[in-house]
Structure formats: structure tokens, C-alpha cells
Amino acid sequence: MSFYDFKMPLINGEEKALSDYQGRVVLVVNTATKCGLAGQFEGLEALHQTYQEQGLSVLGFPSNQFKNQEPGSNEDVAKACQLNFGVTFPLFAKIDVNGDAEAPLYTYLKAEKKGLLGRDIKWNFTKFLIGKDGTVLKRFAPQVAPEKMKRDIEKALAA
């Protein structure tokens, strides 16, 4: 099993094969527009703008599993991300990141890199850095600001 084996619906409903990102460094983030950490959207967009030409893809996966901080429809989420945060990186359809209905992608990511307090995602804006070969390189806690990940991203891009 590899990161590239998954297909996920984009926020517009279109199916996206993650194998399309083969050879790129990928940053997977579970997001929520009404979260206190939502300001990280701007940092994620800055990473996207700075490194996309060098091979980075930032992928947002909205989730409403933490204190109802992403209650709207996929369309509502897309509008809020664009209007409030200027997001241009790909957004996927809302998913569960924990529990019985968790997306298989997140089952895989959590098995590859556990967090400080175990396997489950504890909050919005948990980030997974995926190498060019599909290997899960690192898991970042929600409070780690996007700009604090630059060194790890640059190392992965150089590999």
C-alpha cells in the first residue's frame, strides 16, 4: 500500500488519483475554516506559492470532526477558503479523519506516522509530509505553523 494507491474526491466531486502527484513532495492537511488555527490557510498558501514550481503540492482535506468547525457544504468550504484565505491549492471533499467512517487515506497516513499522543488525529491542521516516492516522511502537530516546515519541505524537495 502506498500514498499513490488512493483516489479521493475533490471538493467539486471530481475523483482525483493521488498517483497524479507521483514525483512531487506533498503536504496533506486536515482543515477547518472556523477553527482558531484557520490562519494557517495563509501560511499553507504561501508554501504552495513559494514551492509549487519546485515540486510541492499542498492538499487540503476539510473535516468537521473537531467541535463542528467545518459545518458547511463542500461548496461553502470552497467559497470560504477562496474568499477568506485566498486558497488556490487543491481542496478535497469533506472527510472524517478518525473513527468508523474515517477516509482510508487517513487510516494509512496515521499508521505510517503516529503523533506524539498516539495514532488518532487530535485536531484540525495536522500535517503529513509525503516524499517524492510516496513515503510518509513526517507528521506535524496542528500548532506547527506552515512556515516552520520550510526546512523539512526543502530537504524533501532536494532528495
The catalytic site residues sit at 35
CB 14 within 8 A of CB 81: no
CA torsion sign for 157, 77, 30, 1 is: negative
Scanning the structure block, which residue is given the C-alpha cell 478518525? 98
Scanning the structure block, which residue is given the C-alpha cell 490562519? 39
Q: How far apart are CA 107 and CA 95, in angstroms?
A: 12
Residues paired with residue 7 on neighbouring β-strands, in sequence order: 17
